[in-house]
Amino acid sequence: MTSTTAWIRPLTEATTGVPLRRDVHGSRCRTSQGLFTAWAVGLGFPDYFGHNWDAFRDCLHDAVSNAYIDTPDQENPPQLAVIVHEAGNLLADEPRNALVILLNLLSEAAGDDNAAPRLLLLLDDTPDRLSRLAQRLTDAGYPPAFPGNHH
């Protein structure tokens, strides 16, 4: 991938007004199992969520789809923004492949419209930790749309 991934962005004041905002703490997402639990709580996954990648895909798809169903303005549906605080911790204790799987599933949920993705992944952390995370994301094939990131 040579361009940036438009649906992955740093959290800024300009993006805090997103109507459908869900918060997740990266410190709870260092492992896949921790991520499943944190995202299930943060995004309101159903009790039957199976805590595996296939179930994550299904519940994430439902969360994004419900954002569209619940909007009165079908022409301009809101984006679902998942804000990951302490984002540098995201799957930090897992092999690189776990991050690739997560990003593939999030990309699928975001859809093909780079100008208006259905899902935003907003990353919040210190500049140095975001820089290291940006490198991990780029290495996984998803260079984020961070200022100064021109991969």
- Total residues belonging to the chain: 151
53 occurs within a structural domain: yes
Q: Tell the residue number behind the tokens 């899902």, with chain if given.
A: 119
- Domain of residue 34: give its range: 8-139
What is the reported pTM? 0.87
21 occurs within a structural domain: yes
Lowest mean pLDDT, pick from 23-37, 44-58, 112-126: 112-126
Segment 10-41, tens digit of pLDDT: 888 555 556 688 999 999 999 999 999 999 99
Total structural domains in the chain? Answer: 1
CB 38 within 8 A of CB 151: no
2 occurs within a structural domain: no
Q: At what angle do helices 32-43 and 53-69 cross, to 10 degrees?
A: 20
